[in-house]
Structure 1
Amino acid sequence: MAFNLQYKIYMKDKKCYKIAVPIFEWRVAPRLDTAEKMLFATVEDGKVVDEEEVRIVGVHPLNIAHWFKDEGIKVVICCGVDCTCSSLLLESGIDLVSWIAGNAREAIRAYIDGTLSSMAIPVDRFGSCRRRFRGGR
C-alpha cells in the first residue's frame, strides 16, 4: 500500500484513540507481521496520556487485525506490511500508515502533529502490493 497523506485529517474529530506501532528496540520495526513487540499509545485531545509496550509473540499475522480491534486500536503506524495484513486491517476499520521509519515515539508525536510525512520512506507510485512480472527472467 502506498503511503497515504490522508492520515493528517483522519483523527481531527476524535478526542480519544489508540495508536499501535510495531517496535524493534526504540525504532519502528521493519515489518508489522514479524514484530515481537508493539508500542500502544493512548491519545486524548492531541496528547499522549498513556504508553504501553506489549509483546505479541503468539499472535498470528492473520489474526492481528482482530487482536488490534480487541485492544481498541484505531491507527497502526508501521514500516513494511504485506498485502493480506494491510487488507485485513483496513477491512477492520483500522487506519494504516505504512512506510514510516525512525523513532517509534517520534512517529506517534508526528502523527498527532500532522507531520508524519517527514518520516516516510519514499516508495514507487505503485506501492508495495503489486505483483512484478519479469517475463521469465
Structure 2
Amino acid sequence: MEAIKTIKKKNYRQRLNSLPPLKFKKFRMNMDQTGVNILISASFLKKGNHSLRIQNGILHLKIKQSTGPFGHANGSTSHEAHKKDMDFQIRLPHKKYRHINSVRFQNGSLQIRLSERQVTGRGFSYLEPSRMPNQITSTIRH
C-alpha cells in the first residue's frame, strides 16, 4: 500500500514539472508623437487567446489558457480552466492614449498601437441604412 502511494506522489510531481513555464520573453513600450507602441512576447501567447481593452489609463490584457478538445485544460474541468485565465494590467504613460489603433499577433509577439484619437478609415467600417426610400419604379418604353 505504501508503494502505491509513493508511486502516485512521484507521478503527480512529474506531471507538475512537465508543464512548460509561463515566461515573458520581452516587454517593450515606446512613446512617440503619434502614440504608444507596446510589444509583448511571451511563451503563453497564441493567436486568438487574448483580448484587450483600455479603461482609465490602464491597458487590460486577458489571456485565456489553451484548452483540450473537450474544453478541459490539462485534465481539469472547464470550470477550473476558467479560473486559470490570466489578467494583466499595464499602466499607460499618459491617459490621453486611450484608443486602440491596431493589434497584431506575429511570430509569437503581440504588437499593440495606441493613439490619442480614434483613427478613421482603418479598423471596422459600419454599413449605414440607405437614405433613399425602398420604392421600386419601372418605366416601360415601346
Scaled by the length of structure 1, the TM-score of the pair is: 0.28
Give the structure with the higher percent strand.
2
Q: Which of the pair has more CA radius of gyration? A: 2
